[in-house]
Chain A
């Protein structure tokens, strides 16, 4: 049973390969079938995750992978994100004329890599998973070829991603050089009784890991790729990256910095706190100035990386539920927002400026209401899930004594209300006459409805249970 922690990854990867084969042999015009296939495979992966939910800590493959409660919640968030992204992709690809079946195969492949990250217990697996999830994303970012923006996004993402990966490998190498270990829990044991001579290697290695993972999570000052890539990538992929990739990157941070470098927390807490503060301030601040929804969401994604980094500073047993719930709430609200945003694409191209959103809610009030809900959740207004997620994270950081950081978090939250509500205002009030978008397809409608329901339901559920005991 050593490979059980890998089960979700294996299912998605095998599914991706099957889809690739199917793509090689399918008849033209049957791309919708590919979407269905991908959806079923995601559902199967979710089912496997559900079956594994109650299983206790489960190590396997030379202790390189580990299934635990955290792995379950991370996997669930990733799979939910993947499923919703598939739901609203199909019509978008058709509208943009880029309906190629490889899309779904790569999406599943990336998700498989993310799921591997969720169970990583070894630095080598962290590296493997990071590359695994990154390569399909590089391709997907450029999937709207021959659109120059999309190709630019792919190239930028690839170059900088490779650059960051180099830091990761070098960091792992330094740690290995210092300790001869790659297993994270062994590393933690080593750090509790460090060898003074090799300590410096490990710490510098850790700093380089922070660079690489901070890059993937889009933390300041490693965030600069984010707006360009998010803007250029096809809109569903942007949503998928904002939600699922963020989850995987935070998973890596959790694994490396809590499981592995946890005993050295005093050392890394300072820089991480600085990064968190800078990320919250820059993300929320620059988001104010954006005039395009996708770019705004890119800075929103950066800003939320800041809140999540803040959660990393809490005492792990207290902060872990907060981080998990935050990832889930953030992912769902973000994907819901992108499910609305993909409706802005038509045969004539795609306009994501706020001006294009004007009056949309008068034409389709359901979409307007859903968008308002997602934005409220991203701000963190009760009773949406986002509020309780922020509450838990802030509480964890507060209890760990990061009071100034919490204050920055609160202030930036207030700032964030301004830009999140701007799109809502545009949709409802900016133009007196309604703007009629084509009626959303069932997939997009379903993804909107699911996200809206989950956003409210998670909030109410939290209230009812008085805090999820994850």
Chain B
């Protein structure tokens, strides 16, 4: 089995191969075959990840770390960089999640993207994303992780703006890219400081040095804070979360795969991966925990006021990422990864369900157009879809329940573990705990609101009245995901604890019955409150949202995402634009261009002086040689004096 581990690079290679095949394929069938090729590549990657997992499983727990060096890459001698893979429980667990979710979403996309004229480009980007994400996950050093980190960012940009004909989509892609740049600036500084401190990028030596206390606490704090700046960008935490809601402009499978299940969890993975470093910096850990918890509550609050069904899910993703980050920050790495895994499944399920709804509404709208402008994402124009789309309804409902944390669904176990881990500590963590419990209530509330608005009551538009269930290629992945959303939580249920045994042997999952009871009650309270407000009977005809009269101005603020975008606009974007304008109008033409032109004129006039030297007369050329020789000989004589 060990020989197999040497081949684990195939996990990354398969999606690349799929990309390559789609890239070079020609002819009539290539657009149709693209999805199948890409899905098979993803499936092969998943299969390989499974085999590597099995190989690793057959080893004793303490030997489950294999480093495969693929390639030595020296840039300048003191700085050497290896391209290598680190196969260990954490990376393989992530790789399994990424490839499984990725494969299912690839299959789903075949149906969802059918008929798109650029379907081949779509699947090429999707394969590229998968390979990049796996590179990020499996890398054995920070440099390669960073390569993957940037590549997934690139894929995210490309896929958000996949339908770039619409200016908003292209703008959303740019926004995601730029906001991430801000975080990555800190991340890059962190990496440089890391290299400066340790003299290497490799995890092994760095963590070993960290555990032996070879690094000062201050330096560790600075490094980890800078790394966390990257996390706030990639994993959409306060203050850089603003790009994720707009990222929903991309096709729904992209939202599911990249902006819910995998890429945005890269930050959590980073904290988990580098936890020996973070444990040296209690200050950073406190900051991370609080930022995560605050994000969880803040995003859940905004989600209540959204009408775009994908935006609700986007804010929900931000909120759930807050849970993971808070847990990872508090050192509960196992809990964070557990929630990451369960969330990947039920959030992918919710997004794909949302995609199914959107797909159905678009089709229905094409045949039964409304008079008013139509937005298939607008929940105000839905309603009553439970009867028309039963599979979508049931699977979506399961996903919502899992997200709300109802036992015994997946979200219950993982969220519970996070709360239990945070609840036992005191101080600032207790504050984080309080925030997270409040967020749990809001989570249950907004999910119930969403289910009620989409599926309950009477249709509120012609399209909703004529919607039909989506094809099997879309519903089957939904059912598979629903199955996982129900079952996947059990792998780390108390008593079993398979995930904990895999990730952190000897540390069984934390479970407090009273904690579980509290969480369940909170969730039920949220569901009940929401149902009381949004049930069809309590919802008068023509009212946009029953909550609006109750909350008035605050509800408007919620729909406007609490004016954070506007705040950033005033605080950063506009001053920056003004500064850029000033640079463009004043500094550029007079300062830079002036200097360049002056230098160019100077060089030019000097050169034209020198040019007279070459007169075309051989005698002068010979004289020049002679003068040069005489000067040289005189120099020698002078040296000899």
8 Å CB contact of B625 from A160, A285, A415, A466: A160
Question: Interface digits, B78-99 against A, CB 8 Å rule (1 contact, 0 not)?
Answer: 0010000000000000000000
Interface residue B26 (Cβ < 8 Å from any Cβ of A): no
Question: Are A224 and B621 closer than 8 Å at their CB atoms?
Answer: yes
Question: Interface digits, A18-34 against B, CB 8 Å rule (1 contact, 0 not)?
Answer: 00000000000000000
* Residues of B150-174 whose CB lies within 8 A of A: none
Specify the main secondary structure of chain B where it touches its partner: helix
Residues of B within 8 A of A179 (CB): none
A269–B73 Cα distance when bound, in Å, is 35
Interface residue A163 (Cβ < 8 Å from any Cβ of B): yes
Residues of B within 8 A of A286 (CB): 607, 610-611, 614
Question: Are A204 and B636 closer than 8 Å at their CB atoms?
Answer: yes
Segment of A57-65, A69-77, A209-217, A336-344 engaged in the interface with chain B = A209-217
Interface residue A353 (Cβ < 8 Å from any Cβ of B): no
Identify the closest chain B residue to A467 (Cβ): B74
Interface residue A289 (Cβ < 8 Å from any Cβ of B): yes
8 Å CB contact of A203 from B614, B629, B639: B639
Specify the main secondary structure of chain A where it touches its partner: helix
Identify the closest chain B residue to A164 (Cβ): B625
Residues of A within 8 A of B621 (CB): 156, 160, 224-225
Residues of B within 8 A of A210 (CB): 632
Given known pairs A225-B621, A285-B606, the reply for A270 and B636 (CB within 8 Å) is no
Given known pairs A286-B611, A289-B607, the reply for A204 and B633 (CB within 8 Å) is yes
Question: Are A167 and B629 closer than 8 Å at their CB atoms?
Answer: yes
Question: Are B632 and A271 closer than 8 Å at their CB atoms?
Answer: yes
8 Å CB contact of A288 from B604, B624, B636, B640: B604
Residues of B within 8 A of A464 (CB): 73
Minimum C-beta distance from B143 to chain A (A): 14
Residues of A within 8 A of B603 (CB): 285, 288, 415
Interface residue B542 (Cβ < 8 Å from any Cβ of A): no
Identify the closest chain B residue to A266 (Cβ): B639
Residues of A within 8 A of B607 (CB): 282, 285-286, 288-289
Identify the closest chain B residue to A170 (Cβ): B629
Minimum C-beta distance from B545 to chain A (A): 56
A285–B599 Cα distance when bound, in Å, is 12
Question: Are B625 and A163 closer than 8 Å at their CB atoms?
Answer: yes
Residues of A within 8 A of B620 (CB): 224
Interface size class of A (residues with CB under 8 A): 35 or more
Question: Are B628 and A228 closer than 8 Å at their CB atoms?
Answer: no
Question: Are A466 and B73 closer than 8 Å at their CB atoms?
Answer: yes
Residues of A within 8 A of B637 (CB): 200, 204
Question: Are A289 and B608 closer than 8 Å at their CB atoms?
Answer: yes
Minimum C-beta distance from A167 to chain B (A): 6
Question: Are B614 and A160 closer than 8 Å at their CB atoms?
Answer: no
Question: Are B610 and A211 closer than 8 Å at their CB atoms?
Answer: no
Minimum C-beta distance from A112 to chain B (A): 27
Question: Are A160 and B636 closer than 8 Å at their CB atoms?
Answer: no
Question: Are B618 and A222 closer than 8 Å at their CB atoms?
Answer: no
Question: Are A160 and B618 closer than 8 Å at their CB atoms?
Answer: yes
Given known pairs A203-B639, A467-B74, the reply for A221 and B624 (CB within 8 Å) is yes
Question: Are B616 and A228 closer than 8 Å at their CB atoms?
Answer: yes
Minimum C-beta distance from B520 to chain A (A): 57
Given known pairs A207-B636, A415-B603, the reply for A224 and B628 (CB within 8 Å) is no
Minimum C-beta distance from B602 to chain A (A): 10
A156–B617 Cα distance when bound, in Å, is 9
Minimum C-beta distance from A156 to chain B (A): 5
8 Å CB contact of A207 from B77, B600, B633: B633
Interface residue B627 (Cβ < 8 Å from any Cβ of A): yes
A159–B77 Cα distance when bound, in Å, is 48
How many residue pairs between the two chains, A and B, have CB atoms under 8 Å in the bound complex?
Answer: 90
Question: Interface digits, A279-312 against B, CB 8 Å rule (1 contact, 0 not)?
Answer: 0001001101100000000000000000000000
A199–B632 Cα distance when bound, in Å, is 16
Residues of A within 8 A of B77 (CB): 466-467
Residues of A within 8 A of B640 (CB): 199-200, 203
Residues of B within 8 A of A373 (CB): none
Interface size class of B (residues with CB under 8 A): 20 to 34
Minimum C-beta distance from B67 to chain A (A): 20
Interface residue A254 (Cβ < 8 Å from any Cβ of B): no
8 Å CB contact of A208 from B75, B629, B635: B629
Question: Are B632 and A159 closer than 8 Å at their CB atoms?
Answer: no
Identify the closest chain B residue to A160 (Cβ): B621
Minimum C-beta distance from A298 to chain B (A): 10
Minimum C-beta distance from B612 to chain A (A): 10
Residues of B within 8 A of A200 (CB): 636-637, 640
Identify the closest chain B residue to A156 (Cβ): B618
Residues of A within 8 A of B513 (CB): none
* Residues of A85-134 whose CB lies within 8 A of B: none
Interface residue A227 (Cβ < 8 Å from any Cβ of B): yes
Residues of A within 8 A of B74 (CB): 466-467
Identify the closest chain A residue to B632 (Cβ): A207
8 Å CB contact of B618 from A159, A285, A415, A467: A159
Interface residue B428 (Cβ < 8 Å from any Cβ of A): no
Minimum C-beta distance from A209 to chain B (A): 10
Question: Interface digits, A218-241 against B, CB 8 Å rule (1 contact, 0 not)?
Answer: 000110110110000000000000
Question: Are B622 and A159 closer than 8 Å at their CB atoms?
Answer: yes
* Residues of B587-612 whose CB lies within 8 A of A: 600, 603-604, 606-608, 610-611
Question: Interface digits, A193-206 against B, CB 8 Å rule (1 contact, 0 not)?
Answer: 00000011001101
A281–B603 Cα distance when bound, in Å, is 10
Residues of A within 8 A of B72 (CB): 466
Question: Are B633 and A289 closer than 8 Å at their CB atoms?
Answer: no
Interface residue A404 (Cβ < 8 Å from any Cβ of B): no
Interface residue A267 (Cβ < 8 Å from any Cβ of B): yes
Residues of B within 8 A of A208 (CB): 629, 632-633
Minimum C-beta distance from B600 to chain A (A): 8
A203–B635 Cα distance when bound, in Å, is 10
Identify the closest chain B residue to A295 (Cβ): B614
A210, A270, A288, A467 — which one has the most chain B CB atoms within 10 A of its CB?
A288
Interface residue B563 (Cβ < 8 Å from any Cβ of A): no
Minimum C-beta distance from A139 to chain B (A): 18
A418–B613 Cα distance when bound, in Å, is 22
Question: Are A221 and B73 closer than 8 Å at their CB atoms?
Answer: no
Question: Are A211 and B625 closer than 8 Å at their CB atoms?
Answer: yes
Minimum C-beta distance from A434 to chain B (A): 27
A288–B608 Cα distance when bound, in Å, is 9
Question: Are A228 and B633 closer than 8 Å at their CB atoms?
Answer: no
A215–B518 Cα distance when bound, in Å, is 90
Question: Are B614 and A228 closer than 8 Å at their CB atoms?
Answer: yes
Identify the closest chain B residue to A167 (Cβ): B629
Question: Interface digits, A153-167 against B, CB 8 Å rule (1 contact, 0 not)?
Answer: 001100110011001
Residues of B within 8 A of A285 (CB): 603, 606-607, 610
* Residues of B301-345 whose CB lies within 8 A of A: none
Question: Are B611 and A221 closer than 8 Å at their CB atoms?
Answer: no
A418–B611 Cα distance when bound, in Å, is 17
A208–B625 Cα distance when bound, in Å, is 11
**Given contacts A160-B625, A270-B635, A285-B603, could you give 6 more A-B pairs where the C-beta distance is less than 8 Å?**
A207-B629, A208-B629, A211-B629, A285-B610, A286-B614, A288-B607
- Enumerate 12 A-B pairs (CB-CB under 8 Å) in ascending A order: A159-B622, A160-B622, A164-B625, A200-B637, A211-B629, A221-B624, A224-B620, A224-B621, A224-B625, A282-B610, A289-B607, A466-B80
| Top 10 A-B pairs, shortest CB-CB distance | A466-B74, A285-B607, A224-B621, A207-B632, A221-B628, A211-B629, A203-B636, A286-B607, A207-B636, A221-B624
